[in-house]
């Protein structure tokens, strides 16, 4: 009897790493580039995670200025903001535990791949991961589309064994994107979304700390323990 491969899809910003300060600085630069006042600090922090075009249009940038705002953001972020980040305490240990348990670890992030891969390498995450899937350079994809490409890679990797997967993320976009593919999503409360946002979106469980990740993921992808697939 073939056993399905356990898989964890992982958001990056706000889930594996705290990148808020670099993102906020780049968002501020983007608004300045298009001649608009920047939102308050809390709003700019909310840019961490969702597709950047959605964030700009949601927070006051007219449609005809969105491309220029994205360009301004990208210029600042690629030069400075991308490196202003750190891995959350406890995340490396959680990833090691999951890999030792045989879980395939795949990042699915709305951060463009041209930034996601270098920052994973710089912060030491790359050796702990199996693959990184990021947004295209034009950042035109939704989180659901990014998760879809991650699952395509998973299917090509596990072959005929099949897989049993769960998403881990800190924003509603992670929950909705996972749901598009019939996957449950665990909410990361150490990120930028909060319990109310995550539960309203349909997260099957919210986790208080990275230390809670291994048990919650394993219960979902192995079918063992008190939690079952939602």
Residue 229 lies in a domain: no
One domain, residues 147 and 58: no
Tally of structural domains, the chain: 2
Pairing assessment for the beta strands 86-87 and 17-18 based on DSSP bridges: antiparallel
One domain, residues 61 and 125: no
> CA dist 167 to 79, 84, 86, 146, 209, Å?
30, 25, 21, 12, 16
Give the per-residue pLDDT at 80.
83
Look up 174 and say whether it is catalytic: no
- Write the pLDDT tens digit of every residue in 157-209: 998 889 999 999 999 999 999 999 999 999 999 998 899 999 999 999 999 99
Residue 120 clears pLDDT 70, i.e. is over it:
yes
Query: Which residues, listed in sequence order, are joined to residue 133 by a DSSP beta bridge?
Result: 108
Looking at the whole model, is its pTM more than 0.75?
yes
Report the pLDDT averaged over residues 124-138.
93
One domain, residues 149 and 126: yes
Give the pLDDT band of residue 2 (cuts 50, 70, 90): low
One domain, residues 127 and 214: yes
Q: Residues 6 or more apart from 226 whose CB is under 8 A from it?
A: 219
Euclidean distance between CA atoms 136 and 110, whole angstroms? 9
Euclidean distance between CA atoms 80 and 75, whole angstroms? 9
One domain, residues 55 and 99: no
Final residue belonging to a domain, choices 64, 83, 102: 83
Task: Report the CATH number that the domain containing residue 133 is assigned in CATH.
Answer: 3.40.50.1000
Q: What's the mean pLDDT when you consider all of the chain?
A: 91
Task: Report the CATH number that the domain containing residue 41 is assigned in CATH.
Answer: 1.10.150.240
- Catalytic one among 11, 170, 174, 212? 11
């Amino acid at each position: 009897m073939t056993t399905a491969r356990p898989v964890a899809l992982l958001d990056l910003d706000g889930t594996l790493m705290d990148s808020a300060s670099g993102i906020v600085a780049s968002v501020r630069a983007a608004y300045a580039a298009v001649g608009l006042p920047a939102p308050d600090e809390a709003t700019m922090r909310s840019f961490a995670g969702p597709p950047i075009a959605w964030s700009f249009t949601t927070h006051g940038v007219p449609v005809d200025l969105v491309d220029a705002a994205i360009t301004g953001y990208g210029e600042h972020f690629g030069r400075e903001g991308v490196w202003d980040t750190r891995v959350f305490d406890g995340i490396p240990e959680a990833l090691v535990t999951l890999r030792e348990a045989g879980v395939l670890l795949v990042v699915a992030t709305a951060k463009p791949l041209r930034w996601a891969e270098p920052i994973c390498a710089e912060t030491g995450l790359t050796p702990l991961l199996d693959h990184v899937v990021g947004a295209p350079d034009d950042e035109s994809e939704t989180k659901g589309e990014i998760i879809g490409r991650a699952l395509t890679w998973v299917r090509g990797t596990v072959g005929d064994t099949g897989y049993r997967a769960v998403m881990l993320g800190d924003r509603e976009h992670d929950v909705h994107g996972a749901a598009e593919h019939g996957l449950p999503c665990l909410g990361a409360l150490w990120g930028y979304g909060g319990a109310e946002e995550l539960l309203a979106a349909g997260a099957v469980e919210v986790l208080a700390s990275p230390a809670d990740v291994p048990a919650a993921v394993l219960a979902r992808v192995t079918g063992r323990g008190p939690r079952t697939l939602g």
